[in-house]
Structure 1
Amino acid sequence: MDPDWNDSQPIYRQLRDRVVAMILEGHLKEGDPLPSVRNVATETRINPLTVLKAYQQLEAEGLVEKRRGLGMFIRPDARELLLATEREKFLTEQWPEIRATIHRLGLAEQLLGAGRSRGED
């Protein structure tokens, strides 16, 4: 995991988002173990409690499960759950702003034409 953090949101949230991206991109699959809290903390040079907080959030969201004495593992339905929630989040939070920008800049025809020229109807 890349240890570059920004100030836009708490580090535990950024770490959670990176794990989510790894699940969505297929780098972490169902049944895969998460790296240990200690390893992530060492690699990224962040407090182990910060890593633990990110992992606990993933667990609370139903994306990972704790196996006593073994660590945390990606749940079997994690990717499907994420796809559903991330799609809904995009459509309700991001898409309206993107759509408004497209219309404000008069790009609708140009964007539709670009998709047709590449056979993406």
Structure 2
Amino acid sequence: MDPDWNDSQPIYRQIRDRVVAMILDGLLKDGDSLPSVRNVATESRVNPLTVLKAYQGLEAEGLVEKRRGLGMFVKADARELLLGAERARFLSERWPEIHATILRLGLAGELLGAASKRGEG
């Protein structure tokens, strides 16, 4: 994991978001083990308790499960669960601003034309 952190949100949240991105991108699949708390802490140069807090948050969200003596593992259907939640979050939090910018800049027609040329529309 990249040790470059931004100051806009807590590091444990950024670690959580990076694991979520890895699940969504298919880098971590159902049943895969998460990197150990110790390894992430060392590579990212953060306190192991920070990584543990991120992992506990993922567990509370039902995305990973702890297996005693083995570590944390991606739960079955975690990607599908995430897709639904992340899509809803995108549509409610980010899309309104993006849509307003598209309209403000008069890009709607251009974007539709570009999408149809690629076969997406």
**Same fold by TM-score, threshold 0.5 exceeded?**
yes
Q: Percent identical across equivalent pairs?
A: 79
Aligned partners of 1:101 and 1:87: how far apart in 2? 19
Aligned partners of 2:117 and 2:20: how far apart in 1? 34
What is the match of residue 115 of structure 1?
115
What is the match of residue 25 of structure 2?
25
Aligned partners of 2:82 and 2:4: how far apart in 1? 24
Indicate the SS of the match to 1:66: strand
The residue type equivalent to 1:24 in the other structure is L
Matches within 5 A, 1:59-98: 59-98=59-98
Indicate the SS of the match to 2:4: coil
TM-score, with structure 1 as normaliser: 0.96
Q: Deviations over 1:64-101 (max 9, x none)?
A: 00111111100001000000000111111111111111
Q: Which runs of 5+ in 1 are unaligned?
A: none
Aligned partners of 1:119 and 1:33: how far apart in 2? 37
The residue type equivalent to 2:72 in the other structure is M
Q: Which runs of 4+ in 1 moved over 6 A?
A: none
Q: Which runs of 5+ in 2 are unaligned?
A: none
Aligned partners of 2:37 and 2:44: how far apart in 1? 11
Aligned partners of 2:119 and 2:67: how far apart in 1? 48
1:118, CA displacement in angstroms? Answer: 2.7
TM-score, with structure 2 as normaliser: 0.96
